[in-house]
Chains A and B, each alone.
Chain A
Amino acid sequence: MTRLYTCNLHVHTCLSPCGDLDMHPSAVVEEAVLQHLDIIAVCDHNTSGNVRYVQKAAEGSGLTVIPGMEVTTREEVHVIALFESVEQLESLQEIVYEHLSGLNDEKAFGMQVLVNEIGEVEGFNERLLIGATDISLETLVEKVHESGGLAVAAHIDRPSFSVLSQLGFVPGHVPFDALEISARLPFDQARSRFPELAGYTFITSSDAHFVHDIGKTCIRMNLEEPSFPEIRLAFEKKKGRYVLE
């Protein structure tokens, strides 16, 4: 039996330099539960460090937390990578760190805080997480797939860090599993604005950097259960699973 699940597949935490410091794992989970979300994906910039803590914070809450990361390619395109397990995510993390240089400047970009499930600071990430990796878009999508993940082009309608702003159009040979539309653009407007992308699954999310954005601009997916394999089926529009537009 399938039913509709409410999902936000692009949520930051306080580990992203631009993420609000109030976005610590238990606060993210609390708000997601309050907003009746079934699934969230935690996608910090080029890092996965808070994912385990958000999963721990969600234990027993009924909320499913999908491990994810928002990776910046060398073209400065943001790509959301989603995985079934934290181990898969961490295999991508190794590759991303090998290709990401520079150190963060907290005054310029913000703090990058690792916070555990009960709100204790575990440490600070010193890398320049706001920076770009030197991995090409094609290679990144390939690596995400090799690690068992799904690759979603982030906020394609935005004038910066999107595949359309950086590369003019979606390269047909890059096998994205879905394209994300920003909170500013409703599905119907996105469909009429991008007729050439009719073949792609669209998702929308709030790209939440603040607690009050977690419950905004979610998608509803028809799934049998709130799990990664079901999300994959919904992206592929198979076995009656789909993203409701």
Chain B
Amino acid sequence: MTLQTLIDELGLKCKCCWEKLGNEIEGGYAGDLLSDVMGNSKKGDIWVTRQVHLNIVAVASLKEHAGIVIVQGASPDKDTIEKAQKEGIPIMVSDLPEFELVGKIYHLMHHAQ
């Protein structure tokens, strides 16, 4: 499943790196403690988080995530978006709470398989 499919199905708003929306999602990870995400997420994951700090871009880049979805309608900082654009990490936002969004993504991924 691609990021574009996720955006279309779940009404996410893309904030940067529109050229990367063909990125394939291989798995997913949800977490707000960046130490935990660094330790346990995998390459190709779609990462769902409520954290908006600049460091999320570095973590996603390091772990080669497919993209980041920020939940609960939170706005990523301007610096975060600029860094994400530079690093080629697509950031999307959703108004849904983390629990609901993760449930929907999980369902979509398993349905797609």
Contact = CB atoms under 8 A, between A and B. Distances in A.
A168 interface: yes
Contact of B77 (A136, A166, A168): A136
Contacts, number: 36
15 contacts: A137-B53, A138-B54, A165-B33, A166-B32, A166-B51, A166-B53, A167-B34, A167-B35, A167-B51, A168-B35, A168-B37, A168-B38, A169-B58, A171-B54, A173-B54
A140 B34 CA distance: 20
A111 B38 CA distance: 37
B64 to A, nearest CB: 15
Interface of B: 32-35, 37-38, 51, 53-55, 58-59, 77
Nearest to A165: B35
Given A168-B38, A169-B58, A136 B33 contact: no
Interface of A: 75, 136-138, 159, 164-169, 171, 173
Nearest to B79: A138
A141 B109 CA distance: 41
Q: Which of B33, B38, B54 has the most A CB atoms < 10 Å from its CB?
A: B33
A136 B35 contact: no
B110 to A, nearest CB: 29
Top 6 nearest A-B pairs by Cβ distance? A168-B34, A167-B55, A168-B38, A165-B35, A167-B34, A75-B53
Contacts of A165: 33-35
Q: Which of A138, A168, A173 has the most B CB atoms < 10 Å from its CB?
A: A168
A168 B38 CA distance: 7
A111 to B, nearest CB: 29
Given A136-B77, A167-B35, 13 more contacts: A136-B53, A137-B53, A159-B35, A165-B35, A166-B34, A168-B38, A168-B55, A168-B58, A169-B34, A169-B55, A169-B58, A171-B53, A171-B54
Contacts of A166: 32-35, 51, 53
